Structure 1
Amino acid sequence: MFGFIASPCARCTESSFPAWRGSFCGLARCLGREFGNPSRLLVNRDATFLALVGVSLDPSPPRWRRETCCNPLAMPFPVTDDHPAVMHAAAVSVCGLATKLADDSRDEGPVRRTASRIGATLVEPATDRAVQWLNSSSFPTQRVIELLNRQEDLEARDPIHADRPTSEAFGTITGHLAEVLPLPGQGPVLHQLGSALGSLVYWRDAWDDRETDRRKGRFNPFHRVAEPAIGERIQAAWSGFTDALSKLPFVRHRELFDSLCLTTAERHGSFLELKSEEKLERRRKRRRDREQSRCCDSCDCCPCECCNCCPSCGSGTARSAAGSKGCLDACFDCGPGDSGCCDCCPCDGCDCCPCN
């Protein structure tokens, strides 16, 4: 349920937050229906963002149906699981898993390599269906595979530009929404949006893996290139991402994307500034100590108090007054939408999460 994109603040976007929840859970339902129930585990925020961009740009209103998500006994709520943008995001998610398994089968230790090869065999039927759907929409599947296959060579030759294959692949995936829907004239801006996101995903992954890669003797661009140079590329990617979002003519849910930008910037503050997580956490703690908590509007699963974690409105996610445990720990974490529960529940109330 992870991804670079953070979930939006439910309180800031009360009128449109259900669209995020419905897209997230609609993507999970689409994955299960089209590629088998185990594929539901591939639902993630970046793919939800891709689907929601398409849903929000489409001049034709999406079809919302009242369904449940993870918990079949929960109260149904509106989801969209058959929109072309949702299907595109689902197919890309399955192919992304296949690409990751292929990469691990080359790079990891003997146990991980064996597990990755077994995993690739198990997901092969779902991967074949996903590739078939992408090809039917004229997606350049082979070109994207070739781009990603250039990753190791580029890392060895030109580490400062090591993000380019991932960036170009994400750009192609997002830009293809203009063909899937269709959206005449929006291809270049969508490509810019996806390209910037792909670059941010690559550098964030490298930033998180610095110490592990050093220990294991694996390539990491932060070991080969001065941080200020990488920092410039990260800032350029973030600027490109926000600029592209501002240019897109959303038919609906504009405020939801504004909130996504705010919560994502808050979640990745240390990375965007290339500062250690410890320093950022000390800064967050000082801010929480100074500010009074305000209770959020949708604590429908527990008596709660809230931390002041949203940079926009000061609202936060529910935490039990007696101390959070189990589901509440997942709902709270320390940032808006920094856990799986926050993606599909506004309390996030946990009616559709596996943690209830």
Structure 2
Amino acid sequence: MARCLAREFGYPARLLVNRDAAFVGLLGLSLDPEIPSWKQATCCNPLARPFPVADDHPAILHAAAVSVCGLAAKLSDDARDEGFIRRTAARLGRLLVSPATNRAVAMLNSTSFPTGQVLAALGSQEAIESADPLRADEPTAAAYGAITSHLVELLDRPAQREALHRTGAALGSLVYWRDAWQDRREDARRGRFNPFATSDPEAIRERIASSWNAFCSALGGLPFVRHADLISNMQTTTARQRRRFLGLEADEPSGKSGERARRREERRIRKADRDRSDCCHNRDCADGCCCLGVACDAGPCDAGCCDTGCCDCSP
């Protein structure tokens, strides 16, 4: 993903790598019946040992373009902020990224992605928040659903359109509520809208639970041809890492200190995952997935194909 962003949109764009975009790219790679064109390369450190990448895969290009457009949308939102410094910085940032944004939009349009429809959905955010705060997640859900369901056009997998749309829509809903939950104290301090300040927390909890169940159900119904164990591992790990959010536990830390605490907890869980697995024999495994997660980073597992019997630790 980082290599694709840097190549298509400039070296600084590699900083836009994020979990949501990486997940979209992984979905595409996992559903593609064609074997990806792997090549040996490095990512951020040119002195590092090369490893297999497929940075020109259609799903990776799609996810990269969406990431750039996501940044542009965030800057546009910040440009309407009540703070002068933040508003000015956002407007300047929007000017600086406009060439990359134009290229990203052109790339999406060239694959018949409904860019205008998605932007219109996101543009309805404030109106829905005012009319019915409990439905405030719907614009983000609609945008994510369009992003993931477009993979069927890129991979020629029309039968998976509904499942992919449900996967993305549920993920978008979860992303919206997670951000609102984490920002609730800061929003209250600055007098900004937050659905947790105007809606029944129990009703929101039910929507979050419904979205999580829909996400797991839709994901479980997709016919992955590779990396199924990795995706299952990610799903399990996410449930553990985000358990406080999924349960809306009131003692979850927020702000910068809360973010640091969350990162420490995520590192602890990843380390525990690595310690529980013994198939890689002290090799450097990615995110604790090891060979059972088709993500080994060393030795014969480099091609990410342990689930197909290519190395000693295949299940």
Residues 1:138 and 2:112 aligned together: yes
Q: Report the alpha carbon displacement of residue 107 of structure 1 after superposing the two structures with TM.
A: 2.4
Residues 1:232 and 2:237 aligned together: no
Aligned AA (1:246): G
Match of 2:180 among 206, 209, 216: 206
Equivalent in the alignment of 1:45: 19
Equivalent in the alignment of 1:34: 8
Equivalences for residues 68-83 of structure 1 within 5 A? 68-83=42-57
Q: 1:31 to 1:313 in 2, by over 3 A?
A: closer
Q: 1:345 to 1:109 in 2, by over 3 A?
A: farther
> Is the CA contact (8 Å cut-off) linking 1:262 and 1:312 kept in structure 2?
no
Q: 1:195 to 1:109 in 2, by over 3 A?
A: same
Q: Counterparts of 2:111 and 2:296 in 1: how far apart (Å)?
A: 32
Equivalent in the alignment of 2:232: 258
Equivalent in the alignment of 1:273: 247
So what's the TM-score if we normalise by structure 1? 0.73
Equivalent in the alignment of 2:123: 149
Aligned AA (1:215): R
Equivalent in the alignment of 1:319: none
Match of 1:125 among 92, 99, 115: 99
Unaligned runs of 5+ in 1: 1-26, 280-305, 317-330, 338-343, 348-356
> Is the CA contact (8 Å cut-off) linking 1:262 and 1:311 kept in structure 2?
no
Equivalent in the alignment of 1:110: 84
Q: Counterparts of 1:190 and 1:117 in 2: how far apart (Å)?
A: 34
Q: Report the alpha carbon displacement of residue 184 of structure 1 after superposing the two structures with TM.
A: 1.9
Q: Deviations over 1:301-332 (max 9, x none)?
A: xxxxx95656767549xxxxxxxxxxxxxx9x
Aligned AA (1:116): A
Residues 1:169 and 2:134 aligned together: no
Q: Deviations over 1:216-256 (max 9, x none)?
A: 11100000011100000000000011001100000111111
SS of the aligned residue for 1:73 comes to coil
Q: Report the alpha carbon displacement of residue 180 of structure 1 after superposing the two structures with TM.
A: 1.3
Equivalent in the alignment of 2:165: 191
Q: Counterparts of 1:59 and 1:207 in 2: how far apart (Å)?
A: 38
Q: Counterparts of 1:307 and 1:116 in 2: how far apart (Å)?
A: 35
Q: Report the alpha carbon displacement of residue 29 of structure 1 after superposing the two structures with TM.
A: 0.2
Q: 1:133 to 1:73 in 2, by over 3 A?
A: same
Larger displacement relative to structure 2 (270-279 or 135-144): 270-279
Equivalent in the alignment of 1:322: none
Q: Deviations over 1:174-215 (max 9, x none)?
A: 000001112121111100000000000000000000100111
SS of the aligned residue for 1:78 comes to strand
Q: Deviations over 1:66-110 (max 9, x none)?
A: 100111011111111000000000000000000000000012411
Q: Counterparts of 2:22 and 2:182 in 1: how far apart (Å)?
A: 22
Point out which structure has higher relative CO (alpha carbons under 8 A, 6+ apart): 1
SS of the aligned residue for 2:40 comes to strand
So what's the TM-score if we normalise by structure 2? 0.82
Match of 1:59 among 20, 23, 33: 33
Match of 1:244 among 193, 215, 218: 218
Equivalences for residues 331-350 of structure 1 within 5 A? none
> Is the CA contact (8 Å cut-off) linking 1:307 and 1:315 kept in structure 2?
no
SS of the aligned residue for 2:80 comes to helix
Equivalent in the alignment of 2:262: none
Q: Counterparts of 1:238 and 1:119 in 2: how far apart (Å)?
A: 34
SS of the aligned residue for 1:199 comes to helix
Q: How many residues align?
A: 272
SS of the aligned residue for 1:214 comes to helix
> Is the CA contact (8 Å cut-off) linking 2:142 and 2:169 kept in structure 1?
yes
Q: Report the alpha carbon displacement of residue 277 of structure 1 after superposing the two structures with TM.
A: 4.5
Q: Counterparts of 2:58 and 2:139 in 1: how far apart (Å)?
A: 25
> Is the CA contact (8 Å cut-off) linking 1:148 and 1:169 kept in structure 2?
yes
